[in-house]
Each structure stands twice: as C-alpha cells, then as structure tokens.
Amino acid sequence: MALPLENITVVELGHSVAAPIAGLALAELGATVIKVENPHGGDDARNWGPPFLHGAAGMFQAINRNKYSVALDLKDGEQREALRRFIVEKADVVVQNMRPGLVERYGLEAATLRKDKPQLIYCNLSAFGAAGPLKDTPGYDPLLQAFGGLMSVTGHEGAEPVRTGPSIIDQGAGMWATIGVLSALIRRNQTGEGCEVSTSLFETALSWMCMATAMYLASGNVPKRAGSENGGMAPYKAYEATDGWVVIAAANDNLFRRFAQAVGHPEWADDPDMSSNSNRVRNRVKVNALVADVIRTRPRQYWIDALAAASVPCAPLQSLDEVLNHPQTKAVEMLQQSADGKFQLMGLPLQFDGKRPAFRKNPPALAEDNDLLLPGSTASRTTA
C-alpha cells in the first residue's frame, strides 16, 4: 500500500512521549523518521521499565516503531554540523521537544534552520507554550494534568487526586503536532513555503478542558470530580452489577424511556423528577440510587444483553486482557505483528482504502542507523 508521506523525511529531536508520538504518527503514515538520541543512554523512555520488550522498555517500543535511530553528541561541533547539514539538505520536517533553550544553544532552532531552508517545517513541542512566565519551565504529563485542571475533574470527590491512566497530555500534544505538521505540508504544497508550528502540553491540557470550561463560564460553578459521570446527562455512568461494572449512557429522553422499560421500571419515565434530561440532572442523586439498586441485582452480561436488545448504549468495564481478547479487537486488527514475527504492538487508528499502515520496522536499537548521518559509523545494525 502506498502511504501518503512516503517522500517525506522527518528529523525527530524528541524524547519521552510527546514528540515521539508525533514522530510515530508521521512514520506510520510513511515518512522516513530519523530519531536523534543522546549517545549516553538514548531516549529516557528506553529505560522506563520493567517491563522490557526486546531490549528496551515496553513504553519506548510502543511509540518508536518504523523509525531510525541516530545517536549524536550535540555538544560535538562536527556531529552537530552533520545534523544541521542533513536537515538543510534532506529533511522536510523537524519535530523537537528538547529542554527549553537547548536547540537555541546548539543553533538548531527554527529561525536558524529556516534561514538556510525556508521550505522547512519546524514543529516545537514545549511544556507551557512560547510565551508567559512559565515558557522556559520543563514539564511532564502528570504535572500538566494537575496544572491544567484535568485532575480537578478526574476521580471521585473527596478522594486522593488521580491522573488519567494513559498519558493523554503527552499523546494529545503529539497528535496536535501531527495535525500542525500535516497542515503545514499541505500549505507548502500550495505556496512552496515552510513554517514554524508550535504546540505545548499546557495548551493541550486546556483543549481537553474545553467542555468543562464552557460549563463553568455558563454557570459560574467550578466543575468537581464526578467519577464516571458526565455533568450534563443522567443516567450516564458506571453501575456495579453482581460480577463487575456496566457503563450506561441513556443520554436523551427517548433512550431513558427505553432504558426504564428494559430494567423493569417503565414508570420512571413519567416521574416528574426523571421525565426530562434536565430534571434527571437536577435529581441525579435520586436517579443514580434507583438505577444502582436495580443493576446490582443481576450479572454484568445480563444487563449488557438486556440493554443492547432495547438499543440503549452500554458497555462492560473491561480489563486490558479482556479488551485484547475481545472479538471486536481482533476484527479491527489494531494489534499488529512485527515484521520478524517476534512481538506485537498497537497500530495506527487509521485505515486507507480499508488497509491499516503496516508494522514495517521494529523500534530501533540505539544508534543502529548512525551511518545515515555519520558515514562509516561502527554503530550496531541489529534491530531492537
């Protein structure tokens, strides 16, 4: 399958998660992505384990497949110049999330590189953005989940603060970077000019809070933690059955009427406290108590079958092993085998003409592709 970015070369000056996620997406779409790493241990994420998978932490392997690894000491003038020359001569895109001030120190910032190559697309991924009192402050996903307000609406009121399990700030910032790069590539095709694209973990956190922000601005009420609920709908949360949890989303009046019928309480739909979504939201404590009393009487699968038969949206709360073994997961074929058949990783959630981009190249061992920038390098050519 021909991939849309097959003629694009990307240099990833990235570490940890955010920039590597952008590099991963571009690589999956066919770009040649060269990951520049510190020769003394490489990307920090290589050591974020156990568990380890074929020579590196599983977390690293998950977001660095289909890339090439070049290990450069950027303090070394000759190696730094080799990188600068490669970018000017061959690269279409640079994605970077280095510590604030480092690309400027090394002469690898957008202004310098684009002076020599105006068609270059240069994407900055910072922690707090390009302006403001925190612009030079580094950051990690949980810090921005806290600072950006996500932890204030995640979990249960009165309990210890929690972050979302997946690193949605890092991963979301990587996705926004990818969207910015793809948009810049389209514009370059139209004008011949590159540009500087910027996003940040903080801006990504704020974007995730868009609906909570609108609700606050509309009501003046600061949103609180609501567990699995959504503040604007009821019933819309997880309820405990005899053997597990079921998430029920009766998000409008018609769905609630069908739900009430399916659980054996058609009279609920005519109760003034529950006759409309607005009334159910105002009386959510009563609604949730009534629903919980019913759901706890039967096993999880009983309710899944009953509500599905009534066309009421619902889902079991599954553990990861249940998810991976579910026939729907197998049907969409998101879990892909490495080319050498040694292990599996999750693929890109996109298909082109019904085909998902392939798992073409194992995540690279540190420095295995050094000869791409440093001809004659003795770096290992083995695959991680």
- For the domain that residue 13 is a member of, what is the CATH number? 3.40.50.10540
Residues 34, 170 share a domain: yes
Whole-number pLDDT of residue 376: 75
Q: What is the CATH number of the domain that holds 272?
A: 3.30.1540.10
Q: 192 and 108 in one domain?
A: yes
In a domain, 93, yes or no: yes
Active site residues: 170
Considering the domain architecture, whether residues 65 and 196 belong to the same structural domain is answered as yes
What integer pLDDT is reported at residue 365 of this predicted model?
96
Q: Are residues 198 and 342 in the same domain?
A: yes
Per-residue model confidence (pLDDT) at position 375: 87
- Indicate the number of domains in the chain: 2
**Bridge partner list, 33:** 10, 67
Contacts 24+ apart (CB under 8 A), 221-230: 222/152, 223/152, 223/153, 224/152, 224/153, 224/157, 225/152, 225/153, 225/154, 225/155, 225/156, 225/157, 225/159, 226/153, 226/157, 227/155, 227/156, 229/284
Task: Answer yes or no: do 199 and 281 share one domain.
Answer: no
Residues 117 and 247 in one domain: no
Q: Specify whether 155 is located in the same domain as 40.
A: yes
Same domain, 304 and 163: no
Check residue 380 and give its pLDDT.
44
Residues 193 and 248 in one domain: no
- Shared domain for 256 and 309, answered yes or no, is yes
Tell me whether residue 337 is in a domain.
Answer: yes
- What residues contact residue 44 under an 8 Å CB cut-off, 6+ apart? 15, 16
How far apart CA 41 and CA 171 sit, in angstroms, is 23
Co-location of 340 and 273 in the same domain: no
Six-digit token string for 341: 């058949």
Instruction: Name, in order, each residue with C-beta under 8 angstroms of 319's C-beta and a sequence gap of 6 or more.
Output: none
Residue 377 included in any domain = no
What DSSP letter does each residue of 261-313 carry, written as one string?
HHTT-GGGGGSTTTSSHHHHHHTHHHHHHHHHHHHTTS-HHHHHHHHHHTT--
Domain hosting 190: range is 9-207+332-372
The answer to whether residues 353 and 308 belong to one domain is: no
Give CA torsion, residues 225, 228, 273, 313, to 10 deg: 160
Q: Specify the pTM.
A: 0.93
Q: For 283, list phi and psi in degrees, rounded to 5.
A: -115, 35
**Pairing relationship of beta strands 32-37 and 67-71 according to DSSP bridges:** parallel
Each of the 384 residues of the chain gets a pLDDT tens digit; together they read 899 999 999 999 999 999 999 999 999 999 999 999 999 999 999 999 999 998 899 999 999 999 999 999 999 999 999 999 999 999 999 999 999 999 999 999 999 999 999 999 999 999 999 999 999 999 999 999 999 999 999 999 999 999 999 999 999 999 999 999 999 999 999 999 999 999 999 999 999 999 999 999 999 999 999 999 987 899 999 999 999 999 999 999 999 999 999 999 999 999 999 999 999 999 999 999 999 999 999 999 999 999 999 999 999 999 999 999 999 999 999 999 998 899 999 999 999 999 999 999 999 999 999 999 998 765 444 333
The pLDDT of residue 377 is 66
HSE-CB for 206 with a 13 A CA cutoff = 8
